[in-house]
Chain A
Amino acid sequence: MTQGTPAGSPRHHWVVRVTHWVNVVALSLMVGSGLRIFNAYPAFARKGETFCCYPFEGMAIQSWLTFGGWLAGARQWHFAMMWVLVVNGLIYMAWVYLHGEWRDLVPRRGDLRDSVEMVKYYAFVRKDHPRQGKHNALQKAAYFALPWIALLTVVSGIAIWKPVQFAGLTDLLGGYTWARYWHFVSMVAVVAIAVGHVFMVFAVDPYALRSMTTGGWSERLSPEARNARPFINLKL
């Protein structure tokens, strides 16, 4: 039995649905323009030094993954879209807090064990889908971790935006070079979670596309009810 969604009410509140799709657009444009900015100097080393921790120093990102056309164009998009992303994120976080939705997302005792069970289930070690609340334990972990990683992206972004005015913040992150690195690495983590999320939507729960657009949803189509694994039991 999936909790948190009374019969007849939308699976996701309209605030969640709207902020979700605004986020898709804003995040895509931020990542694309950010990669275009990165391509102006696709490395981290201070001039005259080497950098320990990036194996692809000097290798440009494929241009089809970038947005903005050139450095100045990408910067214009990046510094405009950042407000959309941050304001949208704050609206979502405020709603999650005020509406009590955080109860479906904050980790609790037993989540680690449930995550192991989910992995065992996906690996065919376990036969039946573990029981879950609104989200399974792996989803919960991803949806909970995402805002914190995104927060690191925002804070490190502020540090490289104003490394002199906010010198204390930049120092806290290890200086400009490291702040730029954390900005990049945390972005990669956000993208990795987003890619995993999109894969799971199409491979396990395509009905989530409906519940995230119209809100429409049916208990009997849940992955738990369908006993769905990636590409298995997509239909009832």
Chain B
Amino acid sequence: MNRREMIAAAGATFGSALLTACDSTGPARAAGALTFAQHKNETLERALFSHRSRDRVAPGVGVAGDKFPSYFISDRVPIWDAAMRGAWRLEVGGMVSRPMAFSLDDLMRLERQTQRVNHYCVEGWTAVADFTGVPVSALAAACGVDPASRFVDFESFDDGYHESWDIESAMHPQTIIVYGKDGSPLSAAYGAPARVHSPVKYGYKNTKYLTRVMFLPAANGGYWSDRGYEWYGGL
């Protein structure tokens, strides 16, 4: 084999390897390295995370309104059926000294916060909304969260959808249990009666159609985090 043939052979090998690689998920042997990198990244991301950080929407940027995409995993818009399941309540439990079940009116009587923030979807788009609700930190204080609790699971009635968070992100000042959007009560398309929302987490972490907020000693995965998306999903 002369030099020219060598270069041609090398080019053909590299080229075909490249073509095989196109749009594949890559070699299975890489999975371990990718998981390792994801864990290391999470450690770094948690070190970078600060409660002083704030999402900012530039002045003059308006809300997306009904252009804000609506998303759920059920076949139809999930609507709480009070006739079948009784009045809706948001249960707060797990590692708390006072487990509670809040009606929507109960939530509205707690500390109220309205914020214009970005919603960051993992797909790459953002949408701006005015969200009104109660900070998760206020909810935690009301229920007396055990300081040993390190994780929070947000559960829904949308076909078993849930996502668990690190407690630091849940206690961020911009993490709220939302019951109002753009000055109106939260509608079914956007997670009524209540959803969690925070600009410090991607959309898939922000569980809609909430039923329970559980304070836990360990992470409990989540709908999309169990399907290959990063569990941390922080911004």
Q: Which residues of A contact B (CB under 8 A)?
A: 28, 32, 36-38, 40-41, 43, 46-48, 63-73, 75-77, 79-80, 83, 162-165, 167, 171, 175-177, 180, 206, 209-210
Contacts and interface: CB of A to CB of B under 8 A. Distances in A.
B190 to A, nearest CB: 13
B91 interface: no
Interface string B1-31: 0010001000000000011011111100000
Given A47-B127, A69-B24, A164-B55, A76 B48 contact: no
* Top 8 closest pairs, chain A to chain B, by CB: A48-B67, A80-B37, A69-B25, A47-B127, A41-B124, A48-B64, A72-B228, A40-B123
Contact of A171 (B56, B120, B126): B56
Contacts, number: 126
B65 to A, nearest CB: 6
Contacts of A73: 25-26, 228
A67 B22 contact: yes
B200 interface: yes
B34 A48 contact: no
A67 B21 CA distance: 7
Which of A43, A66, A76 is the most central at the interface, judged by chain B CB atoms within 10 Å of its CB?
A76
B199 interface: yes
A43 to B, nearest CB: 7
B123 A79 contact: no
B189 interface: no
B125 A41 contact: yes
Contacts of B24: 67-69
Nearest to B25: A69
B230 interface: yes
Interface string B103-136: 0000000000000001011111111100000000
A73 B122 CA distance: 12
A184 B26 CA distance: 23
A75 B127 contact: no
Nearest to A207: B3
B124 A66 contact: no
Interface string B219-233: 000001001111000
Contacts of B124: 37-38, 40-41, 180
Contact-size category for B: 35 or more
A164 B200 contact: yes
B83 interface: no
A167 B56 contact: yes
B43 interface: no
Nearest to A180: B124
Contact of A47 (B125, B230, B235): B125
A231 B14 CA distance: 23
Nearest to A72: B228
Contact of A72 (B45, B200, B229): B229
Contact of A77 (B26, B125, B126): B26
Contacts of B126: 46-47, 176-177
Contact of A65 (B22, B56, B65, B228): B22
Given A48-B67, A67-B24, A69-B25, 12 more contacts: A32-B21, A43-B125, A47-B128, A68-B24, A71-B123, A72-B228, A73-B26, A75-B229, A76-B34, A162-B235, A163-B118, A164-B200
B38 A80 contact: yes
25 contacts: A32-B21, A40-B124, A41-B124, A41-B125, A47-B67, A47-B126, A48-B63, A48-B64, A64-B22, A67-B21, A67-B22, A68-B26, A69-B23, A70-B25, A73-B228, A76-B34, A76-B228, A162-B45, A163-B118, A164-B54, A164-B200, A165-B234, A167-B56, A171-B58, A176-B118
A194 B102 CA distance: 59
A40 B124 CA distance: 7
A48 B120 contact: no
Given A48-B68, A163-B120, A180-B124, A36 B50 contact: no
B148 interface: no
B34 A80 contact: yes
B235 A165 contact: yes
B5 to A, nearest CB: 14
Contacts of A76: 34, 37-38, 228, 230
